């Protein structure tokens, strides 16, 4: 269990975020849970308090950056946040029949998957460096390693988040603050099950939460999970571009209603 003064989980109303909150819940632990779904947040908080933790909730739209920044400053001033896990995110693919994703979808994913976590992480890192301690965990995706033509916004925003996390890590590492990027593969959440196509090496949310917590505790710079996705990252880098392009194009899920290959 980390020695953090307070643990912030952003995205705690989602499948992975709620698993992280419950993983950390224990006597003496003080949790701050942010999410979009207030009813879900209350249920997660109740589960955490049953495990002996104290849990405060905040229903916050991350797309409203001025409000989110003000809320973060307020929460951190009330009690210093020692560990922050940014687990909120949106995943989607282009609509059936479309060649590219809708522009509004791209904007929404950019706001939630990249702009909000980077802005909030930067603001919190500034406060943590002033204190000389703190841990930040940014949950990305193994999709960041690949140019997915059917999910350009998702892959692109997660790739941007990965580069930001690495740069922020270097900026603050001499000031008592660690930054960990987590790049998971497929996680068995309600949101993940809505995306068509196969999901190999599927992680359960509680197992993913435990791995993320271990990486944060050790101060790992980049944790890819499970390991086959690290191999796929290397494979993508080594494959000649024409072959890589053909392979990526073949991965596009069939139109909804089409007969799949099983599974």
Domain range enclosing 221: 7-250
- In whole angstroms, what is the distance from residue 113 CA to residue 126 CA? 20
User: What number is the average pLDDT over the span 196-219?
Assistant: 85
Confidence check: pLDDT of 260 > 50: no
pLDDT of residue 261: 30
Q: Is residue 262 part of a domain?
A: no
Is the pLDDT at 236 greater than 60, yes or no? yes
149 within a domain of the structure (yes/no): yes
Are 51 and 26 in contact, with CB atoms under 8 Å apart? yes
The answer to whether residue 1 sits within a structural domain is no
Please check whether residue 258 lies inside any domain of the structure.
no
* Mean of pLDDT over the chain: 87
Residue 199 has a pLDDT of 62
Q: Is the pLDDT of residue 197 over 80?
A: no
Location of structure tokens 């896990």 = 85
Give me the pLDDT at residue 235, please.
Answer: 67
Could you tell me if residue 165 is inside a domain?
A: yes
Nearest to 141 by CA among 205, 91, 103: 91
Q: Is residue 84 part of a domain?
A: yes
- Residues 123, 186, 46, CA angle at the centre, nearest 5°? 60
- Three-class DSSP labels, the chain: CCCCCCEEEECCCCHHHHHHHHHHCCCCCEEEEEECCHHHHHHHHHHHHHCCCEEEEEECCCCCHHHHHHHHHHHHHHCCCCEEEECCCCCCCCCCCCCCCCHHHHHHHHHHHHHHHHHHHHHHHHHHHHHCCEEEEEECCHHHHCCCCCCHHHHHHHHHHHHHHHHHHHHHHHHCEEEEEEEECCECCHHHHCCCCCCCCCECHHHHHHHHHHHHHHCCCEEEECCHHHHHHHHHHHCCHHHHHHHHHHCCCCCCCCCCCCC
pLDDT value for 196: 55
Determine the pLDDT at residue 215. 96
Q: Judge whether 179 and 125 are in contact, CB under 8 Å.
A: yes
Q: What is the pLDDT of residue 195?
A: 60
Residue 2 pLDDT:
46
> First and final CA of the chain: distance in angstroms?
38
SS3 state of residue 86: strand
Predicted confidence at residue 34, as pLDDT, reads: 98
164 or 237: which carries more pLDDT confidence? Answer: 164
**How much is the pLDDT for 194?**
58
Residue 47 maps to a domain = yes
The better pLDDT of the pair 100, 200 is held by 100
**In this structure, is residue 257 part of a structural domain?**
no
Convert the pLDDT of each residue in 106-165 to its tens digit: 999 999 999 999 999 999 999 999 999 999 999 999 888 887 888 899 999 999 999 999
CB-based contact 10:34 (threshold 8 Å): yes
Higher pLDDT, 16 or 1: 16
Distance CA 11, CA 187 (A): 15
* pLDDT tens column, 148-192: 888 899 999 999 999 999 999 999 999 999 999 999 988 877 666
Is residue 258 predicted with pLDDT exceeding 90?
A: no
Task: Provide the number of structural domains found in the chain.
Answer: 1
Q: What is the pLDDT of residue 1?
A: 46
Neighbours of 135 (CB within 10 A): 22
| Neighbouring C-beta atoms of residue 185, cutoff 10 Å | 21
Q: Residue 156 is part of a domain; what is its CATH number?
A: 3.40.50.720
Of residues 203 and 126, more confidence is placed in: 126
Q: Using 50, 70 and 90 to split pLDDT, how confident is the model at 13?
A: very high
């Amino acid at each position: 269990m980390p020695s953090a003064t307070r643990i912030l989980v952003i995205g705690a109303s989602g499948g992975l975020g709620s698993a992280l909150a419950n993983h950390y819940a224990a006597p003496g632990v003080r949790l701050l849970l942010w999410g979009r779904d207030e009813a879900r947040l209350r249920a997660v908080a109740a589960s955490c308090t049953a495990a002996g933790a104290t849990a405060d909730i905040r229903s916050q739209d991350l797309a409203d950056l001025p409000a989110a920044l003000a809320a973060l400053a307020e929460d951190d001033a009330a009690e210093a946040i020692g560990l922050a896990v940014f687990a909120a995110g949106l995943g989607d693919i282009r609509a059936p029949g479309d060649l590219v994703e809708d522009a509004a979808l791209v904007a929404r994913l950019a706001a939630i998957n990249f702009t909000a976590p980077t802005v909030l992480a930067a603001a919190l890192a500034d406060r943590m460096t002033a204190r000389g301690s703190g841990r930040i965990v940014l949950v990305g995706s193994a999709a960041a390693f690949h140019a997915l033509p059917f999910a350009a916004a998702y892959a692109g925003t997660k790739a941007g988040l990965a580069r930001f996390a690495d740069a922020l890590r270097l900026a603050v590492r001499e000031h008592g603050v660690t930054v960990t990027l987590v790049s998971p593969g497929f996680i068995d959440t309600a949101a993940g099950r809505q995306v068509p196509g196969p999901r190999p090496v599927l992680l359960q949310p509680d197992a993913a939460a435990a791995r993320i917590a271990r990486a944060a505790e050790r101060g790992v710079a980049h944790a890819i999970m499970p390991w086959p996705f690290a191999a796929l990252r290397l494979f993508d880098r080594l494959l000649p571009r024409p072959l890589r392009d053909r392979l990526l194009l073949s991965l596009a899920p069939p139109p909804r209603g089409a007969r799949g290959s099983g599974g």
